[in-house]
Every structure is written in structure tokens, then in C-alpha cells.
């Protein structure tokens, strides 16, 4: 007797692995230098030039497997979307093009603009409240453990 296994539903799998973690938290501020000093003094963040990078290390090998960025930014440092948000979350994604195509098909407010740099590829979507969300696909060579092997459940 042969038992045939049904193939996995690719739509279900794509939903489960859309976001793999938080790539960064960006705080909008009228005085980002003062705000960064407050976070350094009161919360102990090692803020340098209004930015902190939290590296994730592999427990078994001790090498970097990812990072989360924290930054205090002025209102003119980056486009914040059409609303008046005070923060923007950057979500790590495994496949930026596929996710943006899915979000467009689902009727979400996806921006046409895409950014690419040595830090990876970026796309943007705005939530129903007007908050701009940055979607980040890290470069494959930056960290030894690619995102696609660490799905969020």
C-alpha cells in the first residue's frame, strides 16, 4: 500500500513566513540627539549617532545571525508616510517581491518605491491608520543564517 502525502498549500506556507522578525524600530523626534541621550542615560542603550544595533548571535557558534536596529530620527530623516506617526517598525522578510505582490493583490496600500543598498532591499506599505511600515529583505551575504530558514510561527 502506498500512502501519498498531499502537497503543502503554498498560500498557507507563504502566510506563515511573511515576517521573520523586527529589523528596526525608528522613533520620530523633534530633537533626536536629546532623545538618544535620554535612552542612553535612562535605559542604558549604547546609542552612537542616534543609532543602536542589537546583534543576534548563534548560541552554538557565537557568530552573528541577524540584527535589530534602533534609531532616533528627525522628521526629515526619512519619509514617514501620509499619517503623523511617531514611530515606524521595520519588519524582516524572507522574500520582499513576493510579499509586496501578495499585499498588492490583497488591496493593501503598497508604495511603488523600492530601495536597495548594501543593507538589503526595502519596500513600504501603509496600514489603515496611516502608519508607514518598512519591509526589509536583508542581503544574503550579511549574516550566515538566511532568514528563509528561520520562519516566524
**Tens digit of pLDDT per residue, the chain (153 long)?**
444 555 555 555 555 668 888 889 888 888 888 888 888 887 788 888 888 888 887 777 777 778 888 888 887 777 777 667 667 889 888 899 999 999 999 999 999 989 999 889 999 998 887 878 899 999 876 544 444 333 332
State which residues form the domain around 107.
19-143
- pLDDT given at position 130: 81
Centroid of chain to Cα 151: 14
Flag whether 75 is in a domain: yes
Residue 78 belongs to a domain with what CATH number? 3.10.180.10
Flag whether 129 is in a domain: yes
Is the separation of the CB atoms in 96 and 135 below 8 Å? yes
Is the separation of the CB atoms in 36 and 77 below 8 Å? no
Query: 126 forms bridges with which residues in the sheet?
Result: 109, 132
Q: DSSP letter string over 9-42?
A: -HHHHHHHTSEEEEEEEEEEESSHHHHHHHHHHH
Domain count, the chain: 1
Flag whether 2 is in a domain: no
Flag whether 93 is in a domain: yes
- The dihedral over CA atoms of 58, 123, 133, 70, expressed in degrees to the nearest 10, equals 40
- pLDDT given at position 48: 85
- pLDDT given at position 149: 34
Amino acid at each position: 500500500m502506498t500512502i501519498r502525502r498531499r502537497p503543502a498549500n503554498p498560500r498557507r506556507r507563504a502566510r506563515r513566513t511573511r515576517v521573520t522578525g523586527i529589523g528596526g524600530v525608528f522613533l520620530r523626534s523633534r530633537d533626536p540627539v536629546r532623545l538618544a541621550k535620554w535612552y542612553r542615560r535612562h535605559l542604558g542603550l549604547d546609542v552612537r549617532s542616534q543609532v543602536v544595533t542589537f546583534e543576534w548571535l548563534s548560541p552554538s557558534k557565537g557568530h552573528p545571525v541577524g540584527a535589530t536596529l534602533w534609531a532616533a530620527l528627525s522628521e526629515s530623516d526619512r519619509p514617514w508616510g501620509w499619517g503623523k506617526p511617531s514611530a515606524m517598525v521595520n519588519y524582516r522578510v524572507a522574500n520582499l517581491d513576493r510579499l509586496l505582490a501578495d499585499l498588492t493583490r490583497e488591496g493593501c496600500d503598497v508604495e511603488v518605491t523600492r530601495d536597495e543598498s548594501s543593507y538589503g532591499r526595502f519596500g513600504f506599505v501603509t496600514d489603515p491608520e496611516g502608519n508607514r511600515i518598512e519591509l526589509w529583505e536583508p542581503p544574503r551575504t550579511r549574516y550566515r543564517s538566511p532568514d528563509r530558514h528561520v520562519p516566524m510561527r
